[in-house]
């Protein structure tokens, strides 16, 4: 009995063991199945890329600075790992936004359908010819043409950029110039988007392109009066800094060109051009805070250049020639600049200078232009860019008037000096751009062209405003704003705040064809004229650069808070946008006060401030020490490090972010935004969107072509609409 019981127990135990083994096998199979399903889901699920961390240690001023994503820098733009990461980010963006593709496409066509396809610029008269540019229906690029004698004459095509651009994914021409006898047409071309332009020439008598091709230039030239000698500025092959001026004679080998000037100071930029009278070849060389200008008689192309005035610390000046005198815009003892004159040949003695227009604490002088009986001054007062004219003989001054409180007025191209009619442009946040001509003697105005828009547009349906907010230190920051009327309470609408705030560059209130797609969907669009610009004069710029740079960021943040406090915008739908140095603004603000913003667009952002400004071998470093500081100096290093967006990324919540760049960007190298995106992915503590878009064919300015450019605009707007909950 005992043996039987033991046998039964043994059989039961064996059965249990078999059952356990079968269950264990089943569980293993189930686990492997689950893992396989999870792997498949991971492969098909749209997960953000994760860049590999490869520690790189920078040692500066006795401190170690670790950069885990320094490996993303590839000057050849051919490294397989780097390209794989950029493409993975592009794929992630495309999949994230795929559900909105139809809307994005409609948005793109909505924008370009506003463009008047057959369009012409206002013709200008030069000698016996009328020159202008036109666009033909469906074509991306302009055609440059002229007519001889009158506008009723037959049209002659100079160059058709659409033909030149064939076979290129990118094509840009930034300069066109005609010889004094109107027989040779010079033009520039860039097919890479690195802003390294080739200069080419066309014989307009034969229609043939000359074999002379000058590479790696700024694009512009100056013609001597022999109609065969040109001067051009060459860029440094590594830094792309324009630093050498050469003389070229048509029909001779380019390698035999004569170096006539080389700037030895690598903080300076160099350019050459023809004076307004066309009597002189001019060389400009300047840094952030000082300039020097040289001149040569255009009838003596092999002569020696002379200095208008040798360079002096913190002295910036520019000149126009008129009747044997230099008309000089100078900041000598004049923060906002004043206008003086001096005899040509004696200007290097400042005791010979005579004041024409004195300094004004309230008015910043941008530029001057000389006419037969009038001096025209482009200036800014109370943040508004406008034009003043002064009569040479009587000293009478007058402003070109506007009916609007906020607008932008600029002197247009006026190639002939010996006249008293002036062309200028005008637009505002609600008024389309227009070209005007005014008789300075009689004040009679003539509208030459009013920009048009396809479809219905009524300026009175939109409200533009100008207000002033008080920053935390008491500074009064001007703000320009526009929105569409009748779309609900302002404090329930999304608000987009766009700014720049560097280099003294001011974002003027001007019309935007594409912006209507935002305004018509309820957006408020605001431009804070923050410090670092010159919206309120030169001091406004000085108060937002170098060791005052933090004011730029504070002004932007304080403007956002003030607008919300005044019931402009929904606090839950506040969006920020800036590009290049304005992208630095975005990065700093995201670190400092990211919780204020639901979303942010940083276009081609300059965010890796310390590393870039320590590297004198890349473009836009040495020439900007007076803008940001030189981090080789410990005090500058510590201050710049305190706000550098890339270095200050930390474990915190960030807004939804769209970051853009171009692989061939020569101004802000692609690796800055790429590294920033990678570091943000590593450290941010939120689940908000972070998208990086790299255009693999373009550079700093985006796509070329008048339609293609708006493809990325539509994508940018779609990002905002997605966040704001706008479905159509």
Where on the phi/psi map is residue 391: left (φ > 0), alpha (ψ -120 to 50), or beta? beta
Q: Are 479 and 557 in contact (CB under 8 A)?
A: no
Q: Please state, in angstroms and rounded to a whole number, the distance separating the CA atoms of residues 585 and 81.
A: 30
The pairing of strands 599-603 and 574-579 is parallel
212 DSSP 8-state letter: E
Which residues does the annotation mark as catalytic? 580, 665, 700
Q: Are 703 and 716 in contact (CB under 8 A)?
A: no
Q: Please state, in angstroms and rounded to a whole number, the distance separating the CA atoms of residues 154 and 394.
A: 43
Whole-Å CA distances, 79 to 88, 125, 412, 534, 548: 14, 51, 45, 41, 39
Which H/E stretch holds residue 555? helix 550-565
Structure tokens at 682: 């590593």
pLDDT at 1: 35
Domains assigned to the chain: 56-111+456-724 (3.40.50.1820)
- Separate counts of helices (H) and strands (E) for the chain: 13, 38
Packing angle between helix 671-683 and helix 80-96, nearest 10 degrees? 60
Residue 220's nearest CA partner among 262, 183, 188, 178 is 188
Q: Which positions ≥6 away from 94 have C-beta within 8 Å? A: none
Q: What is the pTM of this model?
A: 0.89
Lateral strand order in the sheet of 209-223: 176-178, 184-189, 197-203, 209-223, 229-235, 242-249, 258-262
Structure tokens at 158: 């100079």
CA 666 from centre of chain: 12
DSSP secondary structure string for all residues of 391-403: ETTT--EEEPP-S
Structure tokens at 642: 């305190």
Structure tokens at 453: 């828009």
Q: Are 202 and 159 in contact (CB under 8 A)?
A: yes
Whole-Å CA distances, 95 to 90, 104, 670, 715: 9, 13, 22, 13
Only one residue has tokens 């191209």, namely 413
Structure tokens at 396: 């009478």
Alpha carbons within 13 angstroms on the beta-carbon side of residue 264 total: 0
Residue 121's nearest CA partner among 597, 629, 706 is 706
Q: Please state, in angstroms and rounded to a whole number, the distance separating the CA atoms of residues 474 and 132.
A: 49
Q: Please state, in angstroms and rounded to a whole number, the distance separating the CA atoms of residues 331 and 424.
A: 25
CA 534 from centre of chain: 17
SS3 content of the chain, % helix, strand, coil (to 5): 25, 30, 40
Taking the C-alpha atoms of 538, 543, 546 and 547 in order, what is their torsion angle to the nearest 10 degrees?
160
Residue 554's nearest CA partner among 506, 500, 593 is 593
β strands within 604-696, DSSP E: 656-662, 690-695
Q: Are 563 and 583 in contact (CB under 8 A)?
A: no
Q: Give the three-state DSSP class for 622.
A: helix
Q: Are 279 and 285 in contact (CB under 8 A)?
A: no
Q: Are 514 and 111 in contact (CB under 8 A)?
A: yes
Q: Give the three-state DSSP class for 127.
A: coil
Q: Are 232 and 245 in contact (CB under 8 A)?
A: yes
CA 94 from centre of chain: 25
How high is the mean pLDDT in each 10-residue block of the chain (728 residues)?
Answer: 35 38 40 41 73 97 97 96 97 97 97 94 95 93 96 96 92 93 96 90 96 94 97 91 96 97 93 95 94 97 97 96 97 97 96 96 95 96 92 94 87 95 96 96 96 94 96 97 97 98 93 97 98 96 97 98 98 97 98 98 97 87 89 97 98 98 90 98 98 88 79 97 96
pLDDT at 466: 93
Structure tokens at 22: 């079968």
Residue 234's nearest CA partner among 192, 182, 272 is 272
> What are 296's strand-pairing partners?
281
Residue 406's nearest CA partner among 424, 386, 389, 436 is 386
Q: Are 231 and 247 in contact (CB under 8 A)?
A: yes
Q: Please state, in angstroms and rounded to a whole number, the distance separating the CA atoms of residues 361 and 726.
A: 46
Q: Please state, in angstroms and rounded to a whole number, the distance separating the CA atoms of residues 499 and 581.
A: 10
Tally of residues, the chain:
728
The pairing of strands 524-528 and 495-498 is parallel
Only one residue has tokens 């590294």, namely 675
> What are 370's strand-pairing partners?
375
Residue 284's nearest CA partner among 320, 237, 332 is 320
Q: Please state, in angstroms and rounded to a whole number, the distance separating the CA atoms of residues 471 and 125.
A: 49
Q: Please state, in angstroms and rounded to a whole number, the distance separating the CA atoms of residues 419 and 8.
A: 122
Residue 358's nearest CA partner among 376, 382, 339 is 339
Q: Please state, in angstroms and rounded to a whole number, the distance separating the CA atoms of residues 581 and 604.
A: 9
Alpha carbons within 13 angstroms on the beta-carbon side of residue 524 total: 28
Structure tokens at 502: 């560097």
Q: Are 330 and 300 in contact (CB under 8 A)?
A: no
Q: Are 325 and 343 in contact (CB under 8 A)?
A: yes
419 DSSP 8-state letter: -
């Amino acid at each position: 009995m005992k043996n039987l019981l033991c046998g039964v127990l043994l059989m039961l135990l064996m059965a249990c063991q078999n059952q356990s083994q079968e269950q264990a096998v089943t569980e293993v199979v189930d686990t492997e199945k689950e893992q396989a399903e999870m792997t498949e889901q991971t492969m098909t699920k749209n997960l953000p890329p994760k860049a590999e961390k490869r520690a790189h240690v920078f040692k500066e001023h006795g401190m170690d600075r670790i950069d885990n994503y320094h490996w993303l820098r590839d000057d050849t733009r051919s490294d397989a790992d780097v390209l794989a990461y950029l493409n993975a980010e592009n794929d992630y963006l495309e999949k994230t936004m795929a559900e909105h593709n139809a809307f994005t496409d409609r948005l793109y066509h909505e924008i370009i359908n506003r463009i008047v396809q057959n369009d012409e610029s206002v013709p200008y008269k030069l000698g016996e010819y009328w020159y202008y540019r036109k666009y033909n229906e469906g074509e991306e690029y302009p055609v440059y043409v002229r007519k001889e004698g009158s506008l009723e004459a037959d049209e002659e095509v100079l160059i058709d950029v659409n033909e030149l651009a064939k076979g290129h994914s990118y094509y840009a021409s930034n300069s066109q110039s005609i010889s004094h006898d109107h027989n040779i047409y010079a033009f520039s071309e860039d097919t890479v988007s690195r802003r390294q332009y080739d200069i080419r020439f066309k014989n307009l008598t034969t229609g043939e392109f000359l074999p002379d091709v000058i590479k790696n230039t700024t694009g512009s030239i100056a013609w001597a009066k022999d109609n065969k000698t040109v001067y051009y500025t060459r860029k440094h092959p590594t830094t792309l800094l324009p630093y050498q001026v050469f003389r070229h004679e048509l029909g001779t080998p380019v390698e035999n060109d004569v170096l006539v000037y080389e700037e030895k100071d690598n903080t300076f930029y160099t350019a050459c051009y023809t004076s307004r009278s066309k009597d002189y070849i001019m060389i400009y060389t300047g840094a952030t805070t000082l300039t020097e200008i040289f001149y040569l008689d255009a009838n003596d192309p092999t002569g020696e250049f002379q200095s208008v005035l040798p360079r002096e610390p913190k002295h910036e000046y520019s000149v126009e020639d008129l009747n044997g005198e230099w008309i000089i815009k100078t900041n000598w003892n004049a923060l906002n600049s004043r206008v003086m004159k001096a005899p040509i040949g004696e200007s290097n003695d400042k005791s010979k200078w005579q004041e024409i227009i004195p300094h004004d604490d309230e008015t910043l002088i941008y530029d001057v232009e000389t006419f037969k009986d009038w001096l025209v001054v482009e200036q800014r007062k109370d943040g508004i860019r406008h034009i003043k004219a002064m009569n040479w003989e009587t000293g009478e001054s007058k402003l070109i008037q506007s009916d609007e409180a906020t607008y932008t007025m600029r002197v247009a191209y006026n190639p002939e000096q010996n006249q008293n009619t002036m062309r200028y442009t005008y637009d505002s946040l609600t008024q389309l751009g227009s070209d005007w001509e005014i008789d300075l003697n009689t004040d009679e105005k003539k509208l030459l062209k009013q920009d048009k828009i396809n479809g219905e547009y009524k300026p009175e349906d939109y409200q533009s405003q100008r207000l002033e907010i008080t920053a935390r230190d008491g500074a009064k920051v001007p703000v320009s704003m526009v929105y569409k009327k009748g779309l609900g309470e302002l404090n329930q609408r999304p608000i987009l705040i766009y700014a720049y705030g560097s280099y003294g560059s001011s974002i003027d209130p001007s019309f935007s064809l594409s912006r209507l797609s935002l305004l018509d969907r309820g957006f408020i669009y605001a431009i804070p004229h923050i410090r670092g610009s010159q919206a309120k004069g030169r001091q406004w710029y000085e108060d937002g650069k170098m060791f005052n740079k933090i004011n730029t960021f504070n002004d932007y943040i304080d403007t956002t808070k003030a607008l919300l406090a005044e019931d402009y915008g929904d606090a839950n739908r506040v969006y920020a946008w800036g590009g290049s140095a304005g992208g630095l603004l975005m990065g700093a603000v995201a670190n400092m006060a990211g919780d204020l913003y639901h979303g942010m667009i940083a276009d081609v952002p300059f965010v890796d401030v310390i590393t870039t400004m320590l590297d004198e071998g890349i473009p836009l470093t040495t020439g900007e020490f007076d803008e940001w500081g030189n981090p080789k100096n410990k005090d500058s290093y510590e201050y710049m490090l305190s706000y550098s967006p890339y270095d200050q990324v930390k474990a915190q919540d960030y807004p939804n972010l769209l970051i853009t760049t171009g692989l061939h960007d020569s101004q802000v190298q692609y690796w800055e935004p790429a590294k920033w995106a990678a570091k943000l992915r590593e450290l941010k503590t939120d689940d908000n969107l972070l998208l990086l878009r790299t255009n693999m064919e373009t550079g700093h300015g985006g796509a070329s072509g008048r339609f293609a450019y708006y493809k990325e605009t539509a994508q940018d707007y779609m990002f905002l609409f997605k966040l704001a909950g706008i479905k159509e």
